[in-house]
Every structure is written in C-alpha cells, then in structure tokens.
Amino acid sequence: HLCSNKEALGSHPVSPPAGGRPCDAKDFGQGSLVCVCSATYCDTLDPVVLPAHGTYVRYESSKAGKRLERSEGSFQHNAATPGIEYNLVRVPMASTDFSVRLYTYADAEGDFELKHFNLTEEDMRMKIPILRAAQAMAKRPLSLYASPWTSPVWMKTNGAMTGRGTLKGSPGDKYHQAWAKYFIRFLDEYAKHNLTFWAVTAGNEPTAGEIIFYPFQCLGFSPEHQRDFIARDLGPALANSSHRDVRLIILDDQRVMLPYWAEVVLKDPVAASYISGIGIHWYLDFLAPIDLTLSITHHLFPDYFLLSTEASTGSYFWEPRVVLGGWDRGSKYSHSILTNLNNYVTGWTDWNLALDMKGGPNWSKNYVDSPVIVDSSKDIFYKQPMFYHMGHFSKFIPEGSRRVGLAVSKRCHRCELEHSAFLRPDGAVVLVVLNRSPVDVSFGISDPRVGFIEATAPSDSIQTFLWKQPA
C-alpha cells in the first residue's frame, strides 16, 4: 500500500553513499554529478544484505548528488561489490553502427555452406575476453542474447550492408537456409570459448531496410517474411542443433509495431512453436501508448515474454549526444523501466555498456549517450546518473522476482510518484519509488505483515526499499 502528499521544495546537500567507497564526484555543469573512476579508484557498493525482520534498508540517488546512499529504519507497527549486478547482456552478431568498420562473419561471395565463416578480432580480442571476465566476477550467471544487424551482402537484394534491402529469394531457399545456418555457426564458435547463449533475436530492427532507407547495417523483414523464415528456416535450424534450448525472440524493434507484428507471426502455429518472446525498442514510444501496445500484446499472447532489447539517450538529432551529469536522462531510464515492468515486460536492456567522450566509437557518427563514459586520454571513466538509475533495479531485483500489486491510497491520485514492487526469490520485498517532480513528496508504505514506513521522496530522486517478510 502506498500513499503520499506533496510538501514544500527542500534542499539536499551532496553526500557520499554509506558503506563501500564513496563517489569521487565531478560536476560538468549539466545539472547533476558524475562519479569518476580510474584504474586505482572507483566507488563501490557493499553487498546487499537483507535487513533483520521488522527493519528495512533504503537506497537513494538524487539530482542533488546522492548515489545509491544506504540508510536503515524500522517499521512502525501502528499502520558493496563493484558494479550494479547486470545479468542480461545483448551481444551483436558481427558489426553494428557502433563498430569501427563494417563486416560480417561470412563475407566470401556465394559461401552457402559457410565454409569460410570466421569470428573476427573484435570477437577474439574484445567481446569474448570481456564477456568471460564479466561472467567470472558476476554474482549470478549472465544471460547472453545475440542479435544480428545484417547478413553478408551477397545474400541481400541490394548488395550492401546499409540501405534498403532484405534477403534474396524466399523462405526455404538456399539464401534463407544459409542465413539460418549463420546463427548456428555463431553459437557454435562462441560455445568453443565456454560462452553459451540464453536467446537470439531474429534480427535487429527488421523494419529498417524493409520500410525505410537505413544508413546503418540492417536487414529488412516484414512480419510475414519473418514468420515464414522462422517457420521454414531459423526455427528448424535451432531445433535440430545442439542449441535447441536457446530461446528465439521476434520483432526486436519499436513497440509501435505491436500488437500487429505479434499477431502476424504468432498466429502461425508452426512459427509460434519455435518462439519464446517479443523484443521491443524505445525510440518511438511517444507514438505508441503502452496500454495499446504492450498490455494488449500480453493479453493476446500471455505465454510469450516481452523484453526491452534496446534503449539509449541522446539519439534524436535535436539532442546533445553526451551530457556528463545529466540527471534527466537517468530519470528517463527509470521512467521507462517502471512503465515497462508495470506492463508485463520482464527485462530492460541499455544499448551500450560504455562509450567514449563523443558517444562512440561509431563508424557512421551516430553518437549517443551511455551510463558509462570513458576518457581514454586520462585513463578514467565517468559513471553517469543513468548508471545509478539502472542500479536501483539491477542490484535489487534478481532474476526470478515477481511483480506484486500495490494498492494506492485515494489521497495519492494526483501525486507525482512512480513505483513498482516485487517479491524476490528469497522472499524479500523490493519497492522502487521514482520522483521526477521538483518538489519533495511525503508518502507511507504499509505492509500488513510487517508494519508501516513513513518516508519522503526528495525532488528528482529515486529510492529502492528492501525488507523481509515473515516466513
């Protein structure tokens, strides 16, 4: 149960997080702070330890300067490890616009048997070592999923990695069979390095190259084309391989395409039998009300998960690319995560783990912002507000958590708070509260099995509450 009312605007001094190592704060004049990290120092957060029964812990980040600051409290009965525990990683199959060059793994003309399929130095020297290092230090197993941006150009109607083009021929033919085999070969090669995948998507942004001329790597598909490719080629290829347990995700594109795309693909029983989920991007969310897209799709196809597979800020042409210390960009992330989680989405993926000071590298200069920005000239990196906003979810809501309902007081019908609550596999309760307004908001949290918390959400802040329930 959550209720609130507004209070007057207050001021909050900048303060470091309790426990772990504090943020080495730097202000670039963009409204909030970044935390500076180097080879010798980076702020860390103590491991999450569940509080004793009858007590709770709160983690708070704010525009004023708090970064996952920990505090403790007790319920009323009258009514650090480094990083933020990401466990879902999207891995590009060959090049994207955020590569320094254009390439695929099978560039030899007419190589239908993929005899010349090879990983590249980008895989061998960067992707694979980084993924293995991340897996070694992760508290929980990483779930990897792969997405291709384009097929080799000799398979495409336009003979180019960019622009408007799709696969030659039709589903079931040698081009489609070779493209399906390409997925299997990628999974085979990564398995040789002890990296196995939870899922693959059928292709990044299939409407690019099908509907519009796209300046980056792309491979166009209509929903009918994707349906038939999965039914005749990709689905059987996965099912008949050693990767038969790898999940298959459709769409991997803007949610404005829903529910239409899902209806076309999933109403075919053969294609549907190979598919586990639907991937969505956020760039055109302003054109697609969430209740008319995600909620309807979930109720039409409740057995298929929804997953947010790409988001980034600074991507629109009218925006600055990198904004060091931009609090509003972090709030935009949290708002998207909360609204998605509250509408049946099971996970949320940022586009880039880290970028340089320009928002690249990117061969096409399609620069964007990122939660981590690297200044290689100084051998340091900056943890943006976006990083900490994501941490309020990834650090405290482990895989297997279930969203639970909140009864909101009628007094709160005009309040500015956004929120979502979860029951973790260990029985603990997590509540995330976002205040995007310029005023402090007081509210109460009532858990009938434990008690009542009186709290305040400072202006421009995000809080995560964590407590145990009685066994």
Which residues are catalytic, by number?
Answer: 205, 310
Q: 3-state SS string over the chain?
A: CEEEEECCCCCCCCCCCCCCECCCEEECCCCCEEEEEECCCCCEECCCCCCCCCEEEEEEEECCCCCCEEEEEECECCCCECCCCCCEEEEEECCCCCCCCCCCCCCCCCCCCCCCCCCCHHHHHHHHHHHHHHHHHCCCCCEEEEEECCCCHHHECCCCCCCCCEECCCCCCHHHHHHHHHHHHHHHHHHCCCCCCCEEECCCCCCECCCECCCCCCCECCHHHHHHHHHHHHHHHHHCCCCCCCEEEEEEEEHHHCCHHHHHHHCCHHHHCCCCEEEEECCCHHHCCHHHHHHHHHHHCCCCEEEEEECCCCCCCCCCCCCCCCHHHHHHHHHHHHHHHCCCEEEECCCCCCEECCCCCCCCCCCCCCCEEEECCCCEEEECHHHHHHHHHHCCCCCCCEEECCCECHHHCCCCEEEEEEECCCCCEEEEEEECCCCCEEEEEEECCCEEEEEEECCCEEEEEEECCCC
Q: Are 237 and 248 in contact (CB under 8 A)?
A: no
Yes or no: say if 429 and 463 are a contact pair by the CB < 8 Å rule: no
Cα separation, 354 vs 45, in Å, equals 19
460 torsion bin: left (phi>0), alpha (psi -120 to 50), beta (else): left
Quick check: 333 and 386 in contact, CB under 8 A?
A: yes
The alpha carbon of 408 is separated from its chain's Cα centroid by a whole number of angstroms, namely 28
Residue 257 burial class via C-beta count within 10 angstroms: exposed 0-12, middle 13-18, buried 19 and up: buried
